[in-house]
């Protein structure tokens, strides 16, 4: 049975290092071999610094997949759904490779990121890097707890991983969407706490969900809590982390799923809104600056890449 990469379903970490690369021409053979060796590199440092709970992910960009693995393509792998309605935008970038390094030690992440860059060497160009961190008790920089309604325990695998029935060749892989959001915290912090709470439809300090009748149609959780035609919840596994310094702050939104559709539907519901034009008012305070779609193959497929 295929095994997933350990970072996909891993529990939240204290620190994250997220790397986005483009491949340079004519080095595909070298790159395939190098990528197939990244999981062993993660294992080596996970063992050496066992208390750091290191977990990583290697993912391939939707536009680059056919080049790196021409044998076959995950059934539903497609481009990031670029969207723009009024001032609500979801731009799309084309990154070839994504490497996620998460652990409870920033120094260990730094070592591993350095080793990954050395391993990929001249076959790639680093185009974006985000260092992220856990904020207080798992809060976004808006001050609200992020991740409460994430699937828990065994459900994380059910939601995040492709299963045998869905796509046997790519089982234990995961569709991944990333958006780097930049917050306008001056504007956000100028609001009363109650107005902030209305935007999420959860209380700030105690993280309690509003009752159904008190949730505005424009509230974030109202826009993203969707049901399918049988009334079942549509779910994703979020592994987002805050990032920032004294100039720029935001959330690196990271979502894994067994299909790209749930994320696409949620984003559409946030940006385009419902039939009555209710879009997500959170987007008045934060804006996506990047967006990209990837597939994180199983460890087995990654190993085959190097053969």
Binding positions for ligand HEM, rule: CB under 6 A: 140, 142, 144-149, 179, 181, 200, 202, 220-221, 224-225, 236, 251, 253, 263, 266-267, 286
246 by Cβ neighbours in 10 Å (0-12 / 13-18 / 19+) ranks as: exposed
Residue written as tokens 């600056």? 289
Calpha distance 127→286 (Å, rounded): 22
Question: Which of 146, 167, 198, 280 does the annotation list as catalytic?
Answer: 146
Q: In whole angstroms, how close is the CB of 235 to ligand HEM at the nearest point?
A: 7
The smaller minimum CB distance to ligand HEM, of residues 147 and 273, is found at: 147
**275 contact partners, CB below 8 Å, separation of at least 6:** none
Catalytic, 146? Answer yes
The smaller minimum CB distance to ligand HEM, of residues 169 and 289, is found at: 289
Tally of CB atoms within 10 A around 1:
7
Q: In whole angstroms, how close is the CB of 205 to ligand HEM at the nearest point?
A: 13
The smaller minimum CB distance to ligand HEM, of residues 119 and 221, is found at: 221
Q: In whole angstroms, how close is the CB of 294 to ligand HEM at the nearest point?
A: 15
The smaller minimum CB distance to ligand HEM, of residues 273 and 306, is found at: 273
Q: In whole angstroms, how close is the CB of 145 to ligand HEM at the nearest point?
A: 6
Three-state secondary-structure class, residue 142: coil
CB burial of 181-214 (b: ≥16 within 10 Å; e: otherwise) equals: bbbebeebeeeeeeebbbbbbbbbeeeeebeeee
Which residues form the catalytic set? 146
């Amino acid at each position: 049975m295929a095994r997933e990469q350990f970072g996909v379903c891993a529990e939240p970490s204290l620190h994250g290092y997220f790397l986005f690369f483009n491949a340079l021409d004519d080095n595909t053979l070298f790159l395939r071999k190098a990528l197939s060796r990244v999981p062993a590199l993660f294992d080596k440092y996970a063992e050496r610094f066992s208390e750091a709970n290191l977990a990583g992910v290697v993912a391939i960009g939707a536009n680059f997949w056919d080049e790196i693995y021409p044998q076959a393509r995950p059934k539903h792998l497609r481009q990031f759904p670029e969207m723009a309605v009024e001032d609500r935008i979801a731009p799309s970038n084309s990154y070839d490779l994504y490497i996620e390094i998460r652990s409870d030690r920033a120094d260990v992440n730094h070592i591993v990121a350095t080793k990954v860059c050395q391993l990929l060497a001249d076959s790639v160009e680093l185009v974006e890097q985000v260092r992220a961190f856990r904020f207080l008790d798992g809060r976004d920089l808006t001050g609200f707890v992020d991740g409460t309604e994430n699937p828990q325990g065994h459900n994380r695998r059910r939601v995040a991983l492709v299963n045998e029935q869905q796509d046997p060749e790519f089982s234990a892989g995961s569709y991944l969407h990333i958006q780097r959001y930049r917050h306008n915290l001056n504007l956000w912090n100028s609001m009363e706490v109650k107005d902030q709470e209305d935007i999420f439809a959860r209380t700030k300090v105690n993280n309690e969900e509003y009752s159904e009748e008190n949730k505005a149609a424009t509230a974030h959780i109202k826009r993203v809590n969707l049901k399918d035609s049988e009334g079942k919840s549509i779910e994703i596994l979020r592994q987002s982390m805050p990032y920032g310094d004294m100039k720029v702050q935001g959330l690196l939104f990271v979502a894994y799923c067994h299909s790209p559709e749930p994320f696409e539907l949620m984003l559409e519901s946030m940006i385009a809104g419902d039939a009555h034009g209710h879009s997500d008012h959170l987007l008045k305070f934060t804006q996506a600056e990047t967006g990209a779609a990837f597939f994180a193959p199983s460890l087995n497929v990654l190993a085959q890449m190097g053969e």
